[in-house]
Amino acid sequence: MKILVTGGAGFIGSAVVRLAIARGHSIVNVDTLTYAACLENVASVGNAPGYAFEKADIRDRAAMDRILAAHDPDAVMHLAAESHVDRSIDGPSDFIETNVNGTFTLLEATRAFWQAKGRPADFRFHHISTDEVFGSLGPTGKFTEDTPYDPRSPYSASKAASDHLVRAWHETYGLPVVLTNCSNNYGPFHFPEKLIPVVILNALAGKPIPVYGKGENVRDWLYVEDHADALLTVLEKGPVGRSYNIGGENEARNIDIVRTICALLDEMQPAGAPHDRLITFVTDRPGHDLRYAIDPTRIRTELGWRPSVTLEEGLRRTVRWYLDNEAWWRPLQARQGVGQRLGVKA
Ligand SMILES: NC(=O)c1ccc[n+]([C@@H]2O[C@H](COP(=O)([O-])OP(=O)(O)OC[C@H]3O[C@@H](n4cnc5c(N)ncnc54)[C@H](O)[C@@H]3O)[C@@H](O)[C@H]2O)c1
């Protein structure tokens, strides 16, 4: 299959690109290369036959029209987005521009392309979204595909809006879409402003490890390569119009994730004193959702997919990867905003 992937120089998009190429698909990677992008993430497939890169912005209708016509894909996997909740608190407009207006522009370009081709039924527009659209859970319960939307941050509100647009383009114009809402990802190539890489890199540098509030927020962690596998499964097998929640079946409190990483570093890179001495509790994020948890029954029963990596194993692989790949993460720490506390204005 020839797949146009948006955001393929980011964290999850690059995992999709690498896996899809390994499975024999052709890829057109469309990315405007924001602060969060890194072409090194796809360097391993950069020279593969069947891989093409287009530096372009999804908000640019003329560019999207040109790229679709030039490459004639069988499917679009839409991952390009502004993705960092803390940045969305300080500067929501980029999130509305890319996640809402950009998705609208991409949908319109894709609809025109698909209609001009004679509306092929086997074409797919796969929209990749987050479980954060469902809001915050209390101590019990899980998100299903029927959980009402209740986004609570500018990021999750912009993603919720994009999900609604994608469903509307299916209902109104018949565009053959599938949607996925996934829990928190972690793993190799995770940009060093997100929790898990911040913990690893601050611990390695002997700097305070910031934990928001009391560290009691619970997330359902999914290893990024498992997410890429789930996304290709949904693309290949998911019926048109269907949405799937994707989770890792790995719920953990932030403080427990931080302590586990500290223990792994004590074992893999001993510092002479336990790394957890660096844990520092800081002011919580405004509107910080307490708990997210995915009920993965639909994807498991309908498509036979489940995660292959446990949290313990995934964190071990991730810590090893950061220890072995300083040349990747060191330059990214100089990018704008990285290493600073963001998202506390409210
Ligand atoms: N990271 C997570 O835990 C998680 C969980 C569930 C869903 N998601 C969703 O998955 C997708 C990818 O997330 P990620 O963590 O890889 O994000 P990321 O921030 O690492 O990567 C986003 C990529 O999109 C590109 N991009 C941004 N704006 C663009 C534009 N206007 N035009 C073209 N390209 C643009 C960036 O350059 C970057 O390469 C997002 O849609 C996100 O909402 C992420």
Element (H, E) at 197: helix 195-205
- Annotated catalytic residue 131: yes
Main-chain phi, psi angles of 227, to 5 degrees: -60, -45
> How deeply is 344 buried, as exposed, middle or buried, from its count of CB atoms within 10 A (0-12, 13-18, 19+)?
middle
**Closest C-alpha to ligand 1, atom 18:** 10
Residue 17 C-alpha to ligand 1 middle, in angstroms? 13
The pocket around ligand 1, CB under 6 angstroms, is made up of 6-7, 9-13, 31-34, 36-37, 57-59, 79-83, 98, 102, 128-130, 159, 182, 184-185, 191
**Closest C-alpha to ligand 1, atom 9:** 129
- Mutate which of 4, 5, 6, 12 for ligand 1? The one with the most ligand atoms within 8 Å of its CB, which is 12
Residue 18 C-alpha to ligand 1 middle, in angstroms? 16
- Active-site position among 31, 82, 86, 131: 131
- Mutate which of 14, 35, 54, 83 for ligand 1? The one with the most ligand atoms within 8 Å of its CB, which is 83
Q: Which long-range contacts (CB under 8 A, 24 or more apart) does 61-68 make?
A: 61/105, 61/108, 61/109, 64/30, 64/105, 64/106, 64/109, 64/110, 65/109, 65/112, 65/113, 67/4, 67/28, 67/30, 68/4, 68/109, 68/110, 68/113
- Annotated catalytic residue 51: no
Tens digit of each residue's pLDDT (9 = 90 or more) over 104-131: 999 999 999 999 999 999 999 999 999 9
Residue 13, pLDDT score: 98
Q: Are 89 and 346 in contact (CB under 8 A)?
A: yes
Tens digit of each residue's pLDDT (9 = 90 or more) over 48-80: 999 999 999 999 999 999 999 999 999 999 999
Given a cut of 80, is residue 285 above it in pLDDT? yes
Residue 336 C-alpha to ligand 1 middle, in angstroms? 17
- Mean pLDDT computed over every residue of the chain: 96
Q: Are 124 and 75 in contact (CB under 8 A)?
A: yes
- Annotated catalytic residue 82: no
Q: Which residues contact 121 (CB under 8 A, 6 or more apart)?
A: 176, 240
Q: Which residues contact 213 (CB under 8 A, 6 or more apart)?
A: 281, 283, 284, 285, 288
Residue 47 C-alpha to ligand 1 middle, in angstroms? 23
- Active-site position among 82, 132, 163, 251: 132
**Closest C-alpha to ligand 1, atom 11:** 79
Residue 155 C-alpha to ligand 1 middle, in angstroms? 11
Tens digit of each residue's pLDDT (9 = 90 or more) over 174-204: 999 999 999 999 999 999 999 999 999 999 9
* Local structure of 190: helix, strand or coil: coil
- Mutate which of 67, 79, 103, 179 for ligand 1? The one with the most ligand atoms within 8 Å of its CB, which is 79
Ligand 1 atom nearest to CA at 132: 6
Residue 346, pLDDT score: 55
Residue 13 C-alpha to ligand 1 middle, in angstroms? 7
Tens digit of each residue's pLDDT (9 = 90 or more) over 202-219: 999 999 999 999 999 999
Residue 273 C-alpha to ligand 1 middle, in angstroms? 37
Residue 142, pLDDT score: 97
Ligand 1 atom nearest to CA at 33: 37
Task: Estimate the crossing angle of helix 311-324 against helix 254-268, to 10 degrees.
Answer: 50
Main-chain phi, psi angles of 90, to 5 degrees: -75, -35
Q: Which two tokens stand for residue 33?
A: 């290369």
Q: Are 15 and 228 in contact (CB under 8 A)?
A: yes
Q: How many CB atoms lie within 10 A of CB 172?
A: 9
Q: Using alpha carbons only, give the angle 293, 296, 300 rounded to the nearest 5 degrees.
A: 165
Beta strands, E only, 124-250: 124-130, 177-182, 185-186, 209-212, 218-220, 222-223, 243-246
Fill in the DSSP letter of residue 291.
B
Q: What is the pTM of this model?
A: 0.97
Given a cut of 60, is residue 224 above it in pLDDT? yes
Beta bridge partners of 280: 210
Q: Which two tokens stand for residue 38?
A: 């890194």
> How deeply is 328 buried, as exposed, middle or buried, from its count of CB atoms within 10 A (0-12, 13-18, 19+)?
middle
Tens digit of each residue's pLDDT (9 = 90 or more) over 237-275: 999 999 999 999 999 999 999 999 999 999 999 999 999
Ligand 1 atom nearest to CA at 58: 32
